[in-house]
């Protein structure tokens, strides 16, 4: 449709310079044709009278094979030919000469049309980029033979038609052109633009010249048709009816009808079909199909189909235009009403405008901290306030400036909270919130003591590392409470955008400052306690490296002038106290770890978990569930079983979840039993009311009967199948056990007409623990009560704490020279290397102890680490592997209740390992009495608390021969 618009505009511009007297045009338009009369009814009286006529109309009309007897309009055209020729002889603007006739053109220059075909009776501007072709057209016009053949270019996949068509010559160009085209008159040539007027249909027969392409053509005539055929009449009237619908919606089509009837004359059936197709917005393939069809009826049907599509497109266009117009008008109306409302309020003094109110708000914020705001920040604020007054409230820059001022003025410049450096108070708070962790608490108290002497508590970035659930975040919260600082926590796990740390530039849409600036605005002080959680899980994406951005944030030497990208003014973060948490410090980048002081929290042993569950978790959970202490009794055996069989991890988070699960079930049962007691109480009251009228003896009888019914119903409630948990409830009764409170009264008090109280108490013990939390998840980590040959217990460290790890070896195949080692258990590269080293060391020791043995040389050994679905890797299994191989080779089991850890060199030296506390806790949990540690880890073991070391026989070794003597001793 856009192409139709451009052609229409150019079409009318071409027509304007060529005018004829009104007498000539009247002879063209005065016609009695019914088609013309139908279309003339659409013509608006506002259009100017026709005054232009083209002499070729007579030729076009006479060339129609179907219209041998010309219509009245055509006769009028022929009658006016004389006047036209006279006018052409006088006026220099006449286009067509009287010497050369169109039907004499049998050899024409082929002009390619890239976009759409040219129909007879229509104008078309064409840009000719081929200089030779343009020169040939100009020569034809100069030689008074201003005709060319206009042929549509065929579509080629993956090609630009306009760009490539003029690069083709001769037969290649001919193959790209449709055979059927239009004889076109060259009306004018202006630069490389040629104005064409279509006359009649042509068909290419053969090529005459290659450059420019010249072809021989045959003139095509429409097939004969019956003008009185009812089908043709019906189809033509339907076309006219469709034109009527389109003309009511589009002024462009109305202009086409006006221009066509002015310059061409009346409509007959072939012209009607060509007219409808030419002004439609169909694609060029469909238009070429109309041009090639010589059957008038079929051409009318094709045109009707194209015009019906135009009607549908016009309807959709109207719908879209109407929707957009309604939306725009509604927004304009709302905007005008809002502006009027603002003006009215301003005149009445009810409200100031937006800029004045905003400026007043920002000024009020500044006045509160005017003496504390740094000069460079104050200067920026004043400049932005001045800029805000000059901007329009509706502009986007106004919103950017307003948000920027909002952040600048909302920050707590120079506002600090009063710190409390009372060490005894901090000790009390830490003991209230956490049990154990004496080494961690001691380090924190040292930190607070230094802060008291210095007057400030910054300068160090402390990192709390340990498994999940050991209380790293809650320790940070306790420190903030002890120091009387505002607490702010944000997690950086998975953070991959540097802008989250340093802010976005204000040039971005939706820009915001970084997390620390948001923190300062949120807490309202310039010295908060900031806990950066999961710092070992920092991501790294396309938006930069956040770990590197954290350096400026955390480094005490740099953060005094921290520059946020959004604020673009230095901020003093030196008074902020930063604490970090991590599970594995090895994942923290080295430059960042270098600026931290790491405090390790290894986890809790069973005794510590029991105290934490009793003193902290159980009490807190009971209060959160709304249960009174006298309603529940939680035995130590139940807690111990819960810890050992359900919650073996290093932390206590899962233990808290299990306790919460138990108390939720207890709360549900208490509510159900309370509802049952209320219903029984109502029934008892009704029974009393009935018996009150009778004698007292009858009342006692009814009351006893009610008590029996109460006991029976309570017993039924306890055995109800719909209850989700089988919990032992003990109701108050004169014969109840001593585990519950006895508030029963003597039976003689029944005479006083008092109803006995029913008090429930839930006992959670080791025997009924499965009713609350299901079957045990863990079983004993010790797979073997008596260690068999080739099996040794090792100690391993994981992110969840310590654990025991068996290493098993067995002989698969024996034969001379078949010595080999097969490894399984999803071992990492480090443990695979350890196994190879262990085999080498074991062969050397076996050769020393039993020189005649050829076990390793003649045996294929299979070494396996159980739990093959779990990846295992680490430098601490060497000595365990050697011991397992020697046990298999010498057929001697190792000492009972022995566990070991340590890496071995090829010379038998034992290297130090990590995670001493975690491994000690794991060994103690498995009932191990004897532990072997490298001698270099003696210092780490000595730092453990006494309750962890209690009951353990620990040996520190430097060479593997000491382990051999210990593991294979005769004791």
pLDDT tens digits, one per residue of 368-418:
878 888 888 888 888 888 888 888 877 888 888 888 988 988 888 888 888
Average pLDDT over residues 953-958: 91
The answer to whether residues 216 and 107 touch, using CB atoms and an 8 Å cutoff, is: yes
pLDDT tens digits, one per residue of 649-697:
778 888 889 999 999 999 988 888 888 877 777 776 665 555 444 433 4
Question: What is the CA angle 22-26-32, rounded to 5?
Answer: 170
Percent of the chain with pLDDT over 70: 76
pLDDT tens digits, one per residue of 761-803:
788 888 888 888 888 877 655 567 677 888 998 888 776 667 8
Selected residue with higher pLDDT from 963 and 77: 963
Average pLDDT over residues 251-263: 63
Which tokens sit at 922? 């794991």
Task: Please tell me the predicted confidence (pLDDT) of residue 261.
Answer: 63
User: Confidence band (pLDDT; 50, 70, 90) for 752?
Assistant: very low
Task: Please tell me the predicted confidence (pLDDT) of residue 971.
Answer: 55
| Distance in angstroms (rounded) separating the CA atoms of residues 851 and 727 | 66
Q: At which residue do the structure tokens 């086409």 appear?
A: 256
Please determine, for residue 507, whether its predicted confidence score (pLDDT) is greater than 90: no
Average pLDDT over residues 221-241: 83
Q: What percent of the residues of the chain are helix, what percent strand, and what percent coil, each to the nearest 5?
A: 50, 15, 35
Please determine, for residue 759, whether its predicted confidence score (pLDDT) is greater than 50: no
| Distance in angstroms (rounded) separating the CA atoms of residues 356 and 657 | 55
User: Confidence band (pLDDT; 50, 70, 90) for 456?
Assistant: confident
Q: CA of 46: how far to CAs of 76, 280, 833, 891, in Å?
A: 25, 24, 99, 118
| Distance in angstroms (rounded) separating the CA atoms of residues 467 and 471 | 9
How buried is 166 (Cβ within 10 angstroms: 0-12 exposed, 13-18 middle, 19+ buried)? middle
How buried is 542 (Cβ within 10 angstroms: 0-12 exposed, 13-18 middle, 19+ buried)? exposed
Q: At which residue do the structure tokens 């849409």 appear?
A: 509
Selected residue with higher pLDDT from 148 and 799: 148
Give me the chain's average pLDDT, please.
Answer: 75
Give the catalytic positions in this structure: 876, 919
Look up residue 504 and give its DSSP letter.
Answer: -
Please determine, for residue 434, whether its predicted confidence score (pLDDT) is greater than 50: yes
Class of domain 423-600: alpha beta
Which tokens sit at 754? 């008092």
| Distance in angstroms (rounded) separating the CA atoms of residues 381 and 417 | 25
- 844 labelled binding-site residue: no
Task: Please tell me the predicted confidence (pLDDT) of residue 885.
Answer: 92
User: Confidence band (pLDDT; 50, 70, 90) for 254?
Assistant: low
| Distance in angstroms (rounded) separating the CA atoms of residues 447 and 460 | 9
Which tokens sit at 949? 């070391």
DSSP string for 87-116: HHHH-TT--S-SS--GGG--EEEEEEESS-
| Distance in angstroms (rounded) separating the CA atoms of residues 450 and 448 | 5
The answer to whether residues 152 and 177 touch, using CB atoms and an 8 Å cutoff, is: yes
Which tokens sit at 937? 């880890």
Strand partners, 215: 108, 207
Average pLDDT over residues 578-583: 90
Alpha helices in 55-205 (DSSP H): 56-62, 72-79, 81-90, 131-142, 161-164, 170-176
Fold of 791-968: Ribosomal Protein S5; domain 2 (3.30.230)
Look up residue 615 and give its DSSP letter.
Answer: I
Which tokens sit at 751? 């005479």
Please determine, for residue 231, whether its predicted confidence score (pLDDT) is greater than 60: yes
- 840 labelled binding-site residue: no
User: Confidence band (pLDDT; 50, 70, 90) for 121?
Assistant: confident
- 161 labelled binding-site residue: no
pLDDT tens digits, one per residue of 808-845:
999 888 888 788 889 998 888 888 899 999 999 998 98
User: Do the domains spanning 106-220 and 791-968 agree at the CATH topology level?
Assistant: no
- 198 labelled binding-site residue: no
Task: Please tell me the predicted confidence (pLDDT) of residue 459.
Answer: 63
- Which of 145-149, 234-238, 727-731 is least confident? 727-731
Peptide bond into 303 cis (omega under 30): no
Task: Please tell me the predicted confidence (pLDDT) of residue 317.
Answer: 82
Percent of the chain with pLDDT over 90: 6
Selected residue with higher pLDDT from 801 and 152: 152
DSSP string for 416-463: -PPP---HHHHHHHHHHH-SS-HHHHHHHHHHHHHHHHHT---S-EEE
Task: Please tell me the predicted confidence (pLDDT) of residue 863.
Answer: 92
Range 133-139 contact pairs with CB under 8 angstroms and sequence separation of 24 or more:
133/109, 133/166, 133/212, 133/213, 134/189, 134/192, 134/194, 136/109, 136/212, 136/214, 137/109, 137/111, 137/186, 137/189, 137/194, 138/189
- 914 labelled binding-site residue: no
Per-residue 3-state assignment (H helix, E strand, C coil) for 877-924: CHHHHHHHHHHHHHCCCCCCCEEECCEECCCCEEECCCCHHHHHHHHH
**Distance between terminal CA atoms of the chain?**
103
Selected residue with higher pLDDT from 727 and 523: 523
Please determine, for residue 956, whether its predicted confidence score (pLDDT) is greater than 90: yes
| Distance in angstroms (rounded) separating the CA atoms of residues 551 and 556 | 9
Helix H or strand E encompassing 354: helix 354-368
Fold of 222-351: Methane Monooxygenase Hydroxylase; Chain G, domain 1 (1.20.58)
Edge-first strand order for the sheet with 801-814 is: 820-824, 859-864, 801-814, 791-798, 898-900, 930-934, 953-957
Please determine, for residue 934, whether its predicted confidence score (pLDDT) is greater than 60: yes
Per-residue 3-state assignment (H helix, E strand, C coil) for 361-393: HHHHHHHHCCCCCCHHHHHHHHHHHHHHHHCCC
222 contact partners, CB below 8 Å, separation of at least 6: 64, 65, 66, 270, 294, 295, 296
In CATH, the architecture of 106-220 is Roll (2.30)
- 874 labelled binding-site residue: no
Strands 529-533 and 577-582: parallel
| Distance in angstroms (rounded) separating the CA atoms of residues 271 and 180 | 17
Residue 766: how many CB atoms within 10 A of its CB? Answer: 15
Range 768-775 contact pairs with CB under 8 angstroms and sequence separation of 24 or more:
768/726, 768/727, 768/728, 769/638, 769/641, 769/642, 771/725, 771/726, 771/727, 772/661, 772/662, 772/665, 772/666, 772/725, 772/727, 773/642, 773/646, 773/658, 773/661, 773/662
Task: Please tell me the predicted confidence (pLDDT) of residue 85.
Answer: 35
Please determine, for residue 862, whether its predicted confidence score (pLDDT) is greater than 90: yes
- 798 labelled binding-site residue: no
Task: Please tell me the predicted confidence (pLDDT) of residue 648.
Answer: 77
The answer to whether residues 514 and 552 touch, using CB atoms and an 8 Å cutoff, is: no
User: Confidence band (pLDDT; 50, 70, 90) for 710?
Assistant: very low
Q: What is the phi/psi pair of residue 501, to 5°?
A: -95, -45
| Distance in angstroms (rounded) separating the CA atoms of residues 293 and 223 | 9
Which tokens sit at 492? 């950086």
User: Confidence band (pLDDT; 50, 70, 90) for 78?
Assistant: very low
CA pseudo-torsion sign 283, 285, 288, 293: negative
Please determine, for residue 147, whether its predicted confidence score (pLDDT) is greater than 50: yes
661 contact partners, CB below 8 Å, separation of at least 6: 772, 773
- 893 labelled binding-site residue: no
Average pLDDT over residues 600-619: 84
Q: What are the residue boundaries of the structural domains of the chain, listed by start?
A: 2-96, 106-220, 222-351, 354-410, 423-600, 606-649+665-773, 791-968
Comparing CA positions, the residue from 936, 932, 919, 939 lying closest to residue 960 is 932
Selected residue with higher pLDDT from 202 and 122: 202
Comparing CA positions, the residue from 51, 115, 59 lying closest to residue 281 is 115
Average pLDDT over residues 604-612: 82
Task: Please tell me the predicted confidence (pLDDT) of residue 351.
Answer: 59
User: Confidence band (pLDDT; 50, 70, 90) for 15?
Assistant: very low
pLDDT tens digits, one per residue of 50-65:
323 233 333 333 333 3
């Amino acid at each position: 449709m856009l192409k139709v618009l451009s052609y229409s505009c150019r079409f009318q511009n071409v027509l304007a310079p060529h005018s004829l007297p009104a007498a000539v045009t009247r002879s063209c338009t005065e016609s009695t044709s019914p088609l013309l009369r139908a279309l003339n009814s659409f013509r608006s009286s506002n259009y100017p009278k026709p005054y232009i006529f083209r002499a070729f109309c007579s030729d076009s009309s006479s060339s129609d094979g179907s219209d041998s007897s010309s219509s009245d309009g055509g006769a009028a055209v022929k009658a006016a030919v004389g006047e036209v020729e006279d006018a052409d002889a006088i006026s220099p603007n006449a286009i067509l000469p009287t010497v050369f006739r169109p039907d004499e053109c049998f050899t024409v220059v082929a002009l390619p049309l890239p976009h759409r075909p040219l129909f007879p009776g229509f104008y078309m501007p064409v840009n000719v980029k081929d200089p030779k072709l343009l020169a040939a057209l100009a020569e034809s016009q100069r030689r008074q033979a201003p005709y060319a053949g206009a042929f549509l270019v065929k579509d080629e996949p993956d090609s630009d038609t306009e760009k490539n068509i003029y690069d083709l010559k001769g037969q290649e160009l001919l193959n790209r052109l449709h055979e059927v085209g239009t004889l076109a008159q060259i009306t004018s040539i202006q630069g490389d633009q040629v104005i064409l007027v279509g006359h009649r249909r042509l068909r290419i027969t053969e090529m005459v010249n290659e450059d420019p392409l010249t072809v021989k053509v045959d003139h095509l005539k429409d097939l004969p048709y019956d003008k009185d055929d009812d089908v043709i009449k019906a189809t033509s009237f339907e076309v006219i009816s469709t034109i009527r619908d389109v003309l009511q919606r589009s002024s462009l089509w109305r202009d086409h009808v006006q221009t066509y009837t002015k310059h061409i004359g009346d409509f007959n059936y072939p012209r009607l079909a060509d007219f409808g197709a030419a002004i439609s917005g169909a694609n060029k393939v469909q238009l070429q199909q109309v041009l090639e069809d010589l059957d008038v009826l079929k051409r009318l049907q094709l045109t009707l189909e194209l015009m019906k599509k135009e009607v549908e497109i016009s309807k959709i266009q109207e719908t879209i235009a109407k929707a957009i117009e309604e939306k725009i008008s509604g927004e304009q109306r709302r905007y005008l009403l809002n502006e009027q409302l603002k003006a009215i309020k301003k005149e009445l003094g009810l409200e100031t405008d937006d800029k004045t109110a905003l400026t007043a708000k920002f000024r009020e914020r500044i006045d509160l901290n005017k003496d504390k705001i740094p000069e460079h920040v104050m200067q920026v604020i004043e400049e932005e306030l001045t800029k805000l007054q000059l901007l329009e409230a509706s502009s986007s820059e106004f919103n950017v400036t307003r948000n920027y001022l909002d952040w600048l003025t909302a920050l707590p410049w120079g506002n600090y909270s009063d710190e409390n450096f009372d060490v005894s108070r901090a000790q009390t708070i830490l003991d209230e919130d956490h049990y154990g962790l004496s080494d961690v608490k001691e380090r924190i108290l040292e930190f607070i003591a230094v802060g008291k002497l210095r007057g400030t508590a910054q300068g160090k970035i402390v990192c709390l590392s340990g498994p999940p659930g050991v209380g790293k975040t809650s320790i940070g919260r306790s420190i903030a409470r002890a120091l009387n600082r505002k607490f702010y926590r944000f997690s950086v796990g998975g953070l991959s955008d540097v802008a989250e740390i340093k802010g976005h530039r204000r040039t971005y849409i939706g820009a915001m400052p970084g997390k620390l600036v948001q923190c300062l605005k949120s807490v309202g002080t310039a010295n908060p306690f900031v806990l950066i959680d999961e710092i070992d899980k920092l991501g790294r994406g396309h938006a930069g490296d956040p770990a590197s951005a954290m350096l400026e944030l955390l480094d005490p030497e740099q953060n005094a002038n921290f520059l946020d990208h959004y604020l673009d003014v230095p901020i003093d973060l030196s008074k902020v106290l930063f604490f970090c948490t991590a599970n594995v410090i090895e994942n923290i980048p080295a430059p960042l770890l270098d600026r931290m002081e790491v405090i390790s929290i290894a986890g809790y042993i069973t005794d510590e978990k029991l105290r934490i569950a009793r003193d902290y978790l159980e009490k807190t959970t009971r209060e959160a569930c709304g249960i009174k202490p006298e309603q529940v009794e939680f035995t130590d055996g139940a807690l111990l079983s819960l810890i050992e069989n359900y919650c073996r991890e290093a932390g206590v988070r899962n233990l808290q979840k299990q306790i919460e699960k138990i108390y939720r079930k207890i709360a549900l049962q208490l509510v159900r039993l309370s509802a049952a007691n209320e219903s029984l109480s109502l029934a008892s009251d009704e029974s009393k009311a009935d018996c009150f009228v009778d004698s007292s003896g009858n009342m006692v009888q009814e009351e006893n009967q009610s008590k029996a019914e109460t006991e029976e119903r309570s017993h039924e409630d306890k055995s109800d199948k719909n209850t989700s948990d089988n919990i032992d409830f003990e109701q108050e009764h004169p014969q109840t056990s001593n585990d519950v409170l006895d508030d029963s009264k003597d039976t003689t008090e029944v005479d006083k007409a008092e109803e006995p109280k029913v008090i429930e108490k839930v006992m959670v013990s080791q025997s009924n623990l499965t009713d609350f939390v299901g079957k045990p998840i863990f079983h004993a980590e010790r797979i073997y009560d008596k260690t068999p040959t080739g099996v040794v217990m090792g100690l391993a460290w994981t992110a969840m704490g310590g654990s025991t790890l068996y290493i098993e070896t067995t002989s698969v195949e024996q034969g001379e020279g078949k010595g080999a080692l097969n490894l399984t258990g999803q071992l990492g590269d480090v443990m695979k290397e350890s196994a190879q080293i262990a085999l080498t060391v074991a062969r050397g020791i076996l050769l020393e102890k039993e020189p005649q043995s050829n076990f390793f040389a003649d045996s294929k050994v299979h070494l396996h680490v159980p739990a093959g679905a779990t990846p295992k890797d680490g430098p601490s299994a060497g000595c365990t592997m050697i011991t397992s191989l020697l046990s298999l080779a010498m057929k001697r089991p190792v000492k009972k209740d022995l566990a070991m850890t340590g890496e071995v060199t090829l010379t038998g030296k034992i290297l130090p390992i990590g995670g001493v506390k975690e491994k000690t806790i794991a060994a103690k949990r498995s009932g191990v009495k004897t532990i072997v540690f490298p001698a270099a880890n003696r210092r780490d073991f000595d730092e453990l608390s006494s309750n962890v070391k209690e009951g353990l026989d620990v040996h520190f070794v430097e060479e593997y021969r000491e382990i051999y003597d210990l593991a294979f001793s005769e004791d």
